[in-house]
Homo-oligomer: A and B are copies of this chain.
Amino acid sequence: MQSVVRLYPPAYDIRVEQIPIPKLEHPDDAIVEVKLAGLCGSDLHPYRGTVEGLTEPSVCGHEFIGEVTALGTHFHPGATGRPNLYATLKVGDKVVSPFTVSCGECHHCRIGFTSRCVESRLFGTPHTPGGQAQYVRVPHAGGTLYNLQGISTASVGPDEETKETIGKLADSSLLLLCDILPTGVFAAFQALNHPKTLPMLTSRPYPQSSGGALLESVAVPLKGEDKVLTIAIVGLGPVGVCACIALLDMLYARDIEFRIVAIDPTEIRRKKVEAIYARISQAYGKQQNGHLEVSDITASKEIVTKWTQGIGCNSVLEIVGNTSALSLAYELVRPFGCITSVGVHAARPVPYTGQQLYDKNVSMDFGRCPVRAMFPMALDLLLRRQDVFGEVGGETSLVEKIVGFDVAAKTYDDFDKGRCGKVLFDPWK
């Protein structure tokens, strides 16, 4: 038997229970002994009873790291007919799991769009018991789990030195790889890699074609002010903070001049981002070529107007996932700007008319982070920014505390009511 945190429908009913340890059910399965499990903002959707059709109790949580304790027959040496993916795990390996299952083999997985795998299943739902447990069964483990020991195919593994560095990372730091850190990196990556952002980064006007253009389209060269990126981050919860760190890291690395307004109605969240910005900009020292300001919602519009003479932001990162965040994003974005939305949205109409989108030439990228594909970029950032990711409970840390299952019900309640930040569970505490 094992201890797990279970949610009983319709809502707010968290129980710690003893249930059997999961067994291998399919040749692609792995069993993982959980070291740490996260409590994430999106765990609150089923907790509050807002997920339709949820009638059975489920083991909670979609963020977990741990160690492989058993593997299906497809992983056994000599197993035939399986791709390299299944030579990547052995018992004892330390692994991180994305918050969704991905087979690693379908069209979407091959392309890197792993969050839309045809076998995609969200951990922490009735059919896929979650990570707030001592043991988890991981379906399609070869495609899903990310092996921190590196994998056997040399071309795709980290080198020995990197492996050693990874080995030294705290579990609380690695846990961020399950969801919030890759999602933040995804948001920042989408914002900076959109073709509409390219002219600002390359000093060449739109459109940039690989060939075929007869003439330069525009005769007046770009000015310095054209190349300053103005970016808004809407929502400074844990994913917003990660997006902020990823964005700063990418901008500093490419020496791009920037102005970021980081927006949240909650002062405590704004303070954290200010502290993180101070730390990161200090670490970069004189190289820095930009400016971050935190703001509440109302002031953010004035700030962007002042910075850009009313033109608006090049990019808006929408991390909240509701209608008012989308409306604010539209207000803040400039003509030919991009809205990158990684927030989880409900079945409510998008608050835009076709004319509004036409009149501002808005580009938008919506949807769930392909965590499995973003892992390398996120791990790279995690390794380089241990000054902010490595701490628990500090002024700049993303994790507030690590608790045992004994306080699970109270922790859900506190988290739901905004009385605490990000909390991790140690199932063995």
Q: State which of A6-14, A282-290, A369-377, A386-394 sits at the interface with chain B.
A: A369-377
Does A160 count as interface, using CB distance less than 8 angstroms? no
> Contact partner of A377 among B213, B321, B370, CB < 8 A?
B213
Contact of A214 among B111, B207, B217, B380 (CB under 8 A): B380
For A116, the chain B residues whose CB sits under 8 A away are: 335-336, 360-361
Contacting residue for A189 out of B209, B211, B359, B380, CB 8 A: B209
Residues of B within 8 A of A105 (CB): 220
Q: How far is the CA of A215 from the CA of B335 in the complex (A)?
A: 36
Q: Select A206's contact among B206, B336, B373, beta carbons within 8 Å.
A: B373
Are A200 and B111 in contact, with the CB atoms below 8 A? yes
Chain B nearest CB from A279 CB (Å) reads 20
Chain B hits for A196, CB < 8 A: 113, 365
Question: Closest residue of chain B to A113, judged by CB?
Answer: B336
Residue contact B349 to A353, C-beta cutoff 8 Å: yes
Oligomeric state, in copies: 2
Indicate which residue in B109, B347, B373 contacts A355 across the interface (CB closer than 8 Å): B347
CA distance A334 to B19 in the complex (A): 39
| Cβ-based interface call for A80 (8 A) | no
B219 touches A83 (CB 8 A): yes
**Do A375 and B220 have beta carbons less than 8 Å apart?**
no
Q: Mark A326-357, 1 if CB is under 8 A from B, else 0.
A: 10000000011000010111111110111111
Q: Report the Cα distance A268→B345, complex, angstroms.
A: 41
A307 on the interface (CB 8 Å rule)? no
A109 CB contacts on chain B under 8 angstroms = 218, 220
A75 to chain B, nearest CB (A): 14
CB of A212 within 8 A of CB of B374, answer no
Q: Which residues of B contact A155 (CB under 8 A)?
A: 216
Q: Is the CB of A321 within 8 A of B226?
A: no
A310–B206 CA distance with the chains assembled, in angstroms: 35
Rounded to whole angstroms, the CA-CA distance of A364 and B377 in the bound complex is 24
A428 cross-chain contacts in B, Cβ below 8 A:
none
Query: In A79-127, which residues have CB < 8 Å from any B CB?
Result: 83-85, 88, 104-105, 107-116
Contacts of A345 in B (CB 8 A): 353-355, 357-358
Taking a contact as CB atoms under 8 Å apart, the answer to whether B206 and A111 are in contact is yes
Q: How far is the CA of A250 from the CA of B225 in the complex (A)?
A: 33
Please determine whether A107 and B225 come into contact, CB atoms closer than 8 angstroms: yes
C-alpha spacing A84/B207, complex, angstroms: 20
Q: Once the chains are docked, how many angstroms separate the CA of A211 from the CA of B377?
A: 9
Which residues from B are CB-within-8-Å of A151?
219
Contact, CB under 8 Å: A157 / B215: yes
Please tell me if A153 contacts chain B, counting CB pairs below 8 Å: yes
Cβ distance A315 to chain B, nearest Cβ, rounded Å:
13
A106 and B213 alpha carbons, distance in the complex (Å): 23
A318: nearest chain-B partner, CB-CB: B354
Instruction: Name which residue of chain B comes closest to A118, CB basis.
Output: B311
C-alpha spacing A300/B373, complex, angstroms:
32
Closest residue on chain B to residue A366 by CB atoms = B357
Which residue from chain B places its CB closest to the CB of A210 in the assembled complex? Answer: B254
Instruction: Tell which of B193, B212, B362, B366 touches A362, judged by Cβ atoms closer than 8 Å.
Output: B366
Q: Are B374 and A207 in contact (CB under 8 A)?
A: yes
In the complex, A379 has a CB within 8 A of chain B: yes
Q: Are B380 and A212 in contact (CB under 8 A)?
A: yes
Indicate if A69 sits at the interface (CB-CB under 8 A).
Answer: no
Interface of chain A residues 267 through 281 with chain B (CB within 8 A): none
Closest partner residue, chain B, to A88 (CB atom): B219
**23 A–B pairs (Cβ distance < 8 Å), ordered by A:** A83-B220, A107-B226, A107-B311, A110-B226, A111-B199, A111-B205, A111-B206, A111-B336, A115-B361, A116-B360, A150-B215, A189-B207, A211-B253, A213-B377, A213-B380, A217-B372, A217-B373, A321-B358, A335-B367, A345-B357, A357-B366, A359-B368, A362-B366
